Amino acid sequence: MNSPSGSAAGPADAGKEHVVALGGVDFAIDGKTVFRGLDIAIRRGSVTAIMGPSGTGKTTLLRLITGQVQADRGSVRVDGVDVAGLGRRELYGLRRRMGMLFQNGALLTDLDVFENVAFPLREHARLPERLVRALVLTKLQAVGLRGAAGLMPQQLSGGMARRVALARAIVMDPDILLYDEPFAGLDPISMGVVMRLIRSLNDALGISSIVVTHDVREISQIADASYILSGGQVVAEGTPADLRDHPSPVVKQFMEGLADGPVSFHYPAPDCATQLLDRGRPT
Amino acid sequence: MTALLAEMYSSLRGFLERLGALTRFFGRVLWLSPGAFGRPRLVVEQVYNSGAMSLVIIMTCGLFVGMVLGLQGYDLLQRFGSEDALGVGAALSLLKELGPVVTALLFAGRAGTALASELGLMRATDQISAMEVMAVDPMRRVVVPRFLGGVIAMPLLTAIFIMVALFGVQLVGVQFLGVDQGQFWSQMRDAVELGDVAEGLTKGLVFGVACSLIAVFEGYHAQPTAEGVGRATTRTVVISAVTTLVLDYILTAIML
Ligand SMILES: Nc1ncnc2c1ncn2[C@@H]1O[C@H](COP(=O)(O)OP(=O)(O)OP(=O)(O)O)[C@@H](O)[C@H]1O
Ligand SMILES: [Mg+2]
């Protein structure tokens, strides 16, 4: 894997070239296998895209990295530390250095927009109110929602909620930012803003970004590296250019958005004709 | 037959597992509780949420329970020609039984369900996960203040219920049915002891712990779906009611 950003030089330790590294990860939920032998390495300081069909476990991957769920086998390392081996306190210490944008925003419904963004600051740092105000309004300005500071989450549209959540994710200036579908439900203008924001945050603050998304074309413009997941494994990795010219039909199908190909658009089901003719309900 | 036994066995097992989980949860809540007073505002907010929100329903029900008690008590006592004892009879039954038990049932229905559905919804919309990822312990930040708010609110609500109910008894007994005002109050003052008051408030406190714990436990562990939240709410009311009545028997047996 080659990173065009070339900003791999992290701390002195050479083993820390990769900020996040998954090795041979197996993971099953409710007896259903999500990952089998997953290997991913995220280069420090890069924007890495994670793509894949719906339901392949992209959100689950982020939950593994933040230690919300644990791998059945294999290792999940963040900054060289195995997440599974951490106690509650150490895990919380690690998470303070991560910011995560949830797929649906996950704003706290009993706080207004301003307080939602201020939440991590108030919980973790005793800052003077003036500074809190300045930090929160700056971040809200960055996502174009300074004017919405007084609204409650219920008064926001889905796209606005996601932008507020983005402001909240960056308010603590994390080292690692995880984005779950940052572009879903955004209009083209906010999409462009958020795209540039992801890239500029990454470069200005030396953050490592992991972006889960379906929007192949958009992410290709800003990603240094991409992974395509399917069937519990990595099916392709490389720079956006590598993936465009990838020989594998799976990758081609995904990059070009075709319904027919090796990846089934359908959730596993009995044969369609049989099921339609036989009037019984699907089992 | 064996199927029936197997069914009973598995539901007993499920019950015991749940009880074990509840006990562990309770332990953790207690362990974290002293820390919550470092941020009293969070607790005070929840006392307001649980307490002030239940106030109207508690007072309305208290008034009517008291008025019914006035009618029934008068009817019973006048058969023995001792209507004047209405005050003391009503006061004791309210302090020792009706006050704490009815308040707890109402509390479970009003504040308990609100707590459970709020927490369940926070779980279903990833708010709990979001806090965890922000390195904020949701037990500390969300669960414990809500639990303590309920625990503090319950004895206060019990006291208010009893006072309003006594007013209701007095209204019916003295104003409508003509029991002697002086006798009504003076007998009450002579016969009711501090121990009776303590018994009522102890029950209120214990029921408050039980009902708040059940509500936050069910809400926090709700399945993260709309249906799961609904189920958690229902379970809160049912389990709280049963637990309250069972605990009431145990407490009465101990304190009598
Ligand atoms: N709590 C859960 N219980 C049972 N199965 C789950 C649970 N969470 C996820 N799964 C399963 O794990 C698989 C991966 O889910 P995940 O949410 O990670 O997918 P995703 O790649 O993020 O999909 P999308 O792009 O639609 O968000 C899915 O097939 C889903 O059925
Ligand atoms: Mg997802």
The structure's pTM equals 0.85
pLDDT band at A235 (very low <50, low <70, confident <90, very high): confident
Of A264 and A76, more confident? A76
Residue whose tokens read 């500074």? A131
**Ligand 1: which residue has its CA nearest to atom 18?**
A57
CB contact under 8 A, B126 and A98: no
The pLDDT value given to residue A258: 66
Q: Alpha helix locations (H) across chain B?
A: 2-36, 40-47, 53-78, 86-93, 99-107, 113-124, 127-133, 138, 144-170, 181-191, 194-220, 226-255
For chain B, the domain total comes to 1
Alpha carbons A151 and A168: distance in angstroms, whole number: 15
Q: Which of A30, A33, A35, A59 most suits a substitution to test ligand 1, by most atoms within 8 Å of the C-beta?
A: A59
pLDDT band at B16 (very low <50, low <70, confident <90, very high): very high
Q: Is the pLDDT of residue B233 over 90?
A: yes
CB contact under 8 A, B133 and A100: yes
The pLDDT tens digits of the residues spanning B172-183 come to 999 999 888 898
Alpha carbons A83 and A67: distance in angstroms, whole number: 6
What's the whole-number average pLDDT of chain B? 93
Domain boundaries, chain A: 11-97+175-277, 112-173
Tell me which CATH homologous superfamily contains domain A11-97+175-277: P-loop containing nucleotide triphosphate hydrolases (3.40.50.300)
Mean predicted confidence (pLDDT) in B120-126: 94
Q: Does B53 touch chain A (CB under 8 A)?
A: no
Find, among A202, A179, A201, A198, the residue nearest to A190 by Cα: A198
Q: How far is CA A104 from CA A169, A186, A188, A276, B137, in A?
A: 13, 12, 18, 34, 21
The pLDDT tens digits of the residues spanning B160-201 come to 999 999 999 999 999 999 888 898 899 888 888 899 999 999
Token readout for B165 is: 């109910």
**Ligand 1: which residue has its CA nearest to atom 29?**
A55
Find, among B139, B161, B208, B146, the residue nearest to B61 by Cα: B161
Q: Is the pLDDT of residue A260 over 70?
A: no
CB contact under 8 A, A95 and B135: yes
The pLDDT tens digits of the residues spanning A149-202 come to 999 999 998 888 988 999 999 999 899 999 998 888 788 888 888 888 899 889
Q: What is the ipTM of this complex?
A: 0.81
Q: Residues B63-72, buried b or exposed e (16+ Cβ, 10 A)?
A: bebbbebbee
- Per the structure, the complete domain to which residue B132 belongs is given by 40-255
Q: Choose, out of A119, A152, A172, the residue to mutate when testing the contact with B (most B CBs < 10 Å).
A: A119
CB contact under 8 A, B127 and A120: no
Find, among A6, A13, A71, the residue nearest to A40 by Cα: A71
